Amino acid sequence: MCNQCNELIESTSMDDYLDDAWQNVDQPFDGLTLRNELALSPKQLLAVLEAVVVNLEQQYGRGQRLLDLQDWHEHDGFRREGTVCSFTIVRKMIETEPRLLATRTGEHRVYRAIYPTSGEWLLRWYIGDEEPPECDMTFSTNESDTNAMAAKLRPLMDVSLEESAGYFRRAYGG
């Protein structure tokens, strides 16, 4: 695996900005959260993440400054700062199924999270440690962009949409 990818695997948990944003219903939690209805296989998750990343690059530009972090929100709510990354690094993380599997956190319900420093959207995925691994993903942003993303992902997975702040309150593990 590339050195940049190994460095990203050691990133940290949901940060103070995201924690404050979901509690105050600020972006990216002021709209809808899209998630898979049924558990995904790693192969399905890879296809979904590729579609999401392509869409985000087209919509926001490849130069958007991103943060990568382990999101412990659903595990125990632990918070720390993320690591700066880019769409180039994210694409390397999801380039192949083995690279995607290497993004596992090794902790139950600890998600990999990517979001821009502008806070417009939040992409998260979880890969379980059991074999075969069951995977989940969420994407949160404003209502119109979440609905547009859902339309693109429906051919790849069963989509569920719900109000973001409520979803994250219900899922909080802290």
3-state secondary structure 72-85: CCCCCCCCCCCEEE
CA angle 84, 29, 44 (to 5 degrees): 70
d(CA 77, CA 129): 20
Looking at residue 133, the DSSP 8-state letter turns out to be P
Q: Is a pLDDT exceeding 60 seen at residue 162? A: yes
Q: Region 56-83: what's the mean pLDDT?
A: 75
pLDDT (tens digit per residue) in 25-52: 889 989 999 999 999 999 999 999 999 9
Q: Is a pLDDT exceeding 90 seen at residue 1? A: no
Most confident by average pLDDT, 77-86, 130-139, 164-173 = 130-139
pLDDT, residue 2, reads 38
**Global confidence as pTM:** 0.85
Phi first, then psi: give them for residue 57, nearest 5 degrees.
-60, -40
Who contacts 33 (Cβ-Cβ below 8 Å, separation ≥6)?
138, 139, 140, 146, 161, 162, 163, 164, 167, 168
Across the chain, the runs of DSSP E, i.e. the strands, are: 32-36, 66-71, 83-85, 111-116, 122-127, 135-141, 159-163
Domain tally, the chain = 1
Q: Region 147-153: what's the mean pLDDT?
A: 98
Confidence of residue 144 (pLDDT cuts 50, 70, 90): very high
Share of the chain above pLDDT 90, in %: 59
* Region class of 27: left (phi > 0), else alpha (psi between -120 and 50), else beta: beta
Top pLDDT among 173 and 66 is at 66
Domain hosting 66: range is: 3-171
